[in-house]
Structure 1
Amino acid sequence: MLANTPAPPLLEVRDLCVSFTSRGQVIPIVENISFSIGDREILGLVGESGSGKSITAMALMGLIDAPGVHVTGSARFRGRDLLALPDRQLRALRGREVAMIFQDPMTAFTPVYTIGWQIDEQLRVHQRLSRRQARARTVELLGEMGVPDPANTANRYPHQLSGGLRQRAMIAMALSCNPSLLIADEPTTALDVTVQAQILELMRNLRTTYGSSVLLITHDMGVVAETCDSTLVLYSGRVAETGTTRDLFAHPQHPYTAALLASIPPMSGPRPDRLPAIPGGPPQPMERPVGCAFAPRCAHTHATCLPAPPPRFCTVGPGHTVACVLPAEGAPLPPRSGSSTSPVL
């Protein structure tokens, strides 16, 4: 490979679609999701609850097995399409090369086995370690994750640990086989601020300590700003905007992105009496409008937004794309005094 030839991405997702069939009707949940993650990169996948973030992650991991589900597109991980792999090969890859931190470790862990037993099992299956070697590595991993008294903690059941310790144990299990890609689904949900900061610090250290790339799923734009190299904003199962985190935060081009940023309390200057809120809520998948799904909640909606969906890709800068007719028409996002979509950066 030539020195100036860019390395291929670790994961390249193209036109990922997930739909369910209900009463003979095909209902799209996520549509045409495309993104890539490079080596040691942290990509943030953000949006409100119901935007399709977790469904996207579950589809990549092959964990959607409900009847009537259709998953199409491609997700090439080191040359192999995760969506086309046979079940046996996918099971061998999960946990070893691609691992996932689930949103709720209390329900992700099996309640009838100890934390240590569950991490041991993964090490024995994927790394072919003996029982003694697996337990020694489990204790070492828990210690690296900042778990106090890791030897005794390994013998405790999930319900005997606090939320922060369960989350650290979940991260230890996900990292036990040194995966190249870690999918973290809301890893700081329901944790107090101090523990959140510690978990995010662990996330940032993954690429230096383990050489891992991370797909970080969150609804918290503050977490994205602190942690992610690039960001992909989802709304109602579709990509609204994507770009480097620095560029997207400094120059949001989609009204939804600007509205999310407006919900962050300003770090300097006068503090508002109330933070702006986005009116209404995301549409149900079967109730999406014909045109832009965000149009009913957008302060900048005009006639062009309503009859047809927005353009899939409108390039507004290097690596910065947006699905909105405003940039497509050459119009900047118009500032509006007091609008709920005015970003507060």
Structure 2
Amino acid sequence: MPAKTPSPPLLEVRNLCVSFASRGQMIPIVENVSFSIGGEEILGLVGESGSGKSVTAMALMGLIDAPGVRITGSARFKGYDLLAMPPKQLRKLRGQEIAMIFQDPMTAFTPVYTIGWQIDEQLRVHQRLSRKQARARTMDLLGEMGVPDPANTANRYPHQLSGGLRQRAMIAMALSCNPSLLIADEPTTALDVTVQAQILDLMRNLRKTYGSSVLLITHDMGVVAETCDNTLVLYSGRVAETGTTQALFAHPQHPYTAALLASIPPMSGPRPDRLPAIPGGPPLPVERPAGCAFAPRCVYTHASCLPAPPPAFYTVAPHHEVACVLPKEGTPLPARFTTPTTPVL
């Protein structure tokens, strides 16, 4: 029997670059980011605040309209290049084929309209439903998201709901048109632990119920471990490491990935008195080093890390790549990564 031809990815991003004009020069925020998402796949996009995660998502959605912005590269989705589509055509795609859960539902919802009216509107625009049909569908969606008393909740304004209910309503709105791709920008931020667990359960069930793929943006490695099939680690707007979640957690190849994992309290064995911390902070875009952006904070930094251009990707194993010279040079990372109080350089 002939081998089955693998299906093309749902979304394939290649060499995405986002730069903003500042004081007469273009400042790169996201540089040459590439990844793909297959059907019914959950991809985790992780990194510290300021790594370029949200900018990447906003660029894909066509929601960056700042003056002087420059966006290059390609983002192929069902035969369309999202980065080259006219705004009017992209607007028809947003909400129906690609939906987004924003980081703060309090500011994402319009404060002067009820929750139900805003979900109804999306259904009327994209699904061409009548007002009665849209309201019935809204009730069903809120119920599926675990919202108690959907009729009462739909008639409330965003400020009248708790953070957990607003997030559930935001997810219901995002799923209202059964999108093929859902972009979730830190959907568990500012929620208590119990509500976080409930939201993650909803995320895991999305592909089972709706057959959706998910781009999950977070800085919480624990969330990634529970939810994602594959993981892409961003640092200072560049891809540091990418691979299956299992491989990255079992054998991280980039010191930054290893340091992020070390910040998670161990589930077994002796508990450390203090979790290791990465010294310093990510560089400002205008101060990004010519070579590896992580070099000023890395304990393994040596001469080959510093010159431009940044380290090229090295294939550690199938579907596991790292932008670091250490694996190529054969330098192993310790089983349990620790960081001293000061970097080497």
Tell whether the structures are fold-level matches, with TM greater than 0.5: yes
In the alignment, which residue of structure 2 is the partner of 1:14? Answer: 14
How far has the Cα of 1:340 moved from its partner? 5.1
Q: 3-state SS of the aligned residue for 1:147?
A: coil
Is the Cα–Cα contact under 8 Å of residues 311 and 328 in structure 1 kept in the other structure? no
Q: Does 1:208 align with 2:208?
A: yes
- Partner letter of residue 120 of structure 1? D
The answer (yes or no) to whether the contact 1:262–1:340 under 8 Å persists in 2 is no
If the length of structure 1 is used for normalisation, what is the TM-score?
0.96
**1:59 matched to which residue of 2?**
59
C-alpha spacing 1:19/1:130, structure 2 compared with 1 (3 Å): same
Aligned partner letter, 1:277:
A
Q: Over residues 173-231 of structure 1, what are the superposed CA-to-partner deviations in whole Å (9 max), with x where a residue is unaligned?
A: 00000000000000000000000000000000000000000000000000000000000
Q: Cα 1:52–1:21, aligned 2, differ >3 Å: closer, same or farther?
A: same
Equivalent position of 1:151 in the other structure = 151
**Aligned partners of 2:149 and 2:282: how far apart in 1?**
45
SS of the residue 2:16 aligns to: strand
Unpaired runs of at least 5, structure 2 = none
**1:140 maps to what in 2?**
140
Q: Does 1:182 align with 2:182?
A: yes
Q: Which moved more, 1:160-169 or 1:327-336?
A: 327-336
Structure 1, unpaired ranges of 5+: none
1:27 partner SS? strand
TM-score normalised to the size of structure 2? 0.96
For 2:301, the aligned partner's letter is T
Counterpart residue number, 2:34: 34
Q: Cα 1:326–1:113, aligned 2, differ >3 Å: closer, same or farther?
A: same
For residues 193-272 of structure 1, what are the structure 2 equivalents within 5 Å?
Answer: 193-272=193-272
Match in the other structure for 1:292 = 292
Q: Is the 8 A contact 1:314 1:327 kept in 2?
A: yes
Q: Distance in 1 between matches of 2:250 and 2:23?
A: 45
State the shift of 1:339 in Å: 3.3
Matched AA of 1:27:
I
Q: Counterparts of 1:276 and 1:339 in 2: how far apart (Å)?
A: 6
Alpha-carbon offset, residue 307 of structure 1: 1.7
Amino acid in the other structure paired with 2:44: G
Q: CA deviation at 1:304?
A: 1.1
CA distance in 2, matches of 1:208, 1:39: 12
CA distance in 1, matches of 2:311, 2:328: 8
In the other structure, the counterpart of 1:101 is 101
Q: Residue in 2 aligned with 1:120?
A: 120
CA distance 1:70–1:158, change in 2 (3 Å) = same
Q: Distance in 1 between matches of 2:20 and 2:51?
A: 15
Partner SS for 1:122: helix
**Residue pair 1:39, 1:213 contacting (<8 A) in 2 also:** yes
Task: Specify the code of the residue in structure 2 equivalent to 1:33.
Answer: V
Compute the displacement of 1:67 (Å).
Answer: 0.1
Aligned length: 340
% identity of equivalent residues:
86
Write out the 4+ residue segments of structure 1 that deviate beyond 3 Å after TM superposition: 334-341
Instruction: Give the Cα separation in 2 of the matches to 1:250 and 1:122.
Output: 42
Cα distance in 2, alignment partners of residues 26 and 92 from structure 1: 30
Equivalent residues of 2:19, 2:28 under 8 A apart: yes
Alignment correspondent of 2:302: 302
- Counterpart Cα distance in 1 of 2:74 and 2:103: 24
- After superposition, the C-alpha distances for 1:16-42 in whole angstroms (9 at most, x for unaligned) are 000011121110000000000000000
Structure 1 residue 332: Cα displacement: 2.4
CA, structure 1 residues 317+340, in 2 after alignment: closer, same or farther (shift >3 Å)? Answer: farther
Are the equivalent residues in 2 in contact too, given 1:310–1:325 (CA < 8 A)?
no
Moved more, 16-25 or 52-61: 16-25
